[in-house]
Amino acid sequence: MSNIGLAFALFGAAFAVVFAGIGSAKGVGLVGQASAGALSEDPSLFGKVLILQLLPGTQGLYGFIIAIFVLINTGVLGGAPEAGLAWQKGLMYLASCLPIAFGGLLSGIHQGKVAAAGVSLVAKKPDQSGRAITMASLVEFYAILPFLISFLAVSSIKGIAI
Partner 1 sequence: MAKIKLMHFALIAMLEDSKRLIDYLQRVGVTELADVSDDALTKYRTGPLVSIFEKKEKTARQAVEAVEHRCKIKRTLIQSLTDYTEIDYHQYRQLCEQADTVMVDCEAVNALTEEIRAQKAEIVRQRTMIDYYRPWESLDIPMNARRTPTTAIFIGLFKSQLQREDVETRLAQELPETDGISVEIISSSKLQTCCMVLCHHSDAEAVETALKACGFIRPDKPAKTLPSAAIAQCKAAIEAAQQEIDACNEAIAQYGEQYDRMRLLADYYAAQKEKYLSMEKAATGRRTLYLEGYVPERDAEQLKFDIEKRFTAQMELDAPELTDDVPVLIENRDFAGGVESITNMYAPPSNRDLDPNPVMAFFYYLLFGMMLSDAGYGILMVLVGLVAKYKIKVQGNLRKTASFALYCGVATTFWGVLFGGFFGNLIPTIRTEFLGLDEGPSLALWFEPAMDSIKLMLFSFLLGIIHLFTGLAIRLVTLWKQGDRIGAVCDTIPIYLFVSGFAVVGKDFIEPVSPQVKSIGLYLLLAGAVLIVLTAGRSAKNIFGKLGGGVYALYNNITGYLGDILSYSRLLALNLVTGVIALVVNKLGAMMGNIVAFIVIFLLGHTMNIVINLIGTYVHTCRLQFVEYFSKFYEGGGKVFTPFKFNLKHFKFKEDTINE
Query: In angstroms, what is the minimal distance from the CB of 9 to partner 1?
Result: 18
- 121 touches partner 1 by CB under 8 A: no
For partner 1, the binding residue among 27, 57, 90, 112 (CB under 8 A) is 57
Q: Which is nearer to partner 1, 5 or 157 (CB)?
A: 157
Query: Which C-beta is closer to partner 1: that of 87 or that of 155?
Result: 155
User: Taking contact as CB under 8 A, which single stretch among the options 14-22, 37-45, 81-89, 135-143 is the one that binds partner 1?
Assistant: 135-143
Q: What is the rounded CA–CA span in Å between residue 114 and residue 92?
A: 34
125 binds partner 1 (CB under 8 A): no
Residue 74's SS3 state is coil
For residue 69, state whether it binds partner 1 (rule: CB under 8 A).
yes
Residue 111 vs residues 56, 57, 153, 156: alpha-carbon distances, Å: 6, 9, 25, 30
Which stretch in 14-22, 36-44, 56-64, 87-95 sits in contact with partner 1 by CB under 8 A? Answer: 56-64
Long-range CB pairs of 105-108, under 8 A, 24+ apart, other chains included: 105/19, 105/20, 105/22, 105/23, 105/59, 106/23, 107/23, 107/59, 107/139, 107/140, 107/142, 107/143, 107/146, 108/20, 108/22, 108/23, 108/24, 108/25, 108/26, 108/27, 108/56, 108/59, 108/60, 108/143
Only one of the segments 15-23, 27-35, 101-109, 122-130 lies at the binding site for partner 1 (rule: CB under 8 A); that segment is 122-130
Q: Which residues sit at the interface with partner 1, rule CB under 8 A?
A: 50-51, 54-55, 57-58, 61-62, 64-65, 68-69, 77-78, 127, 129-131, 133-134, 137-138, 140-141, 144-145, 147-148, 151-152, 155
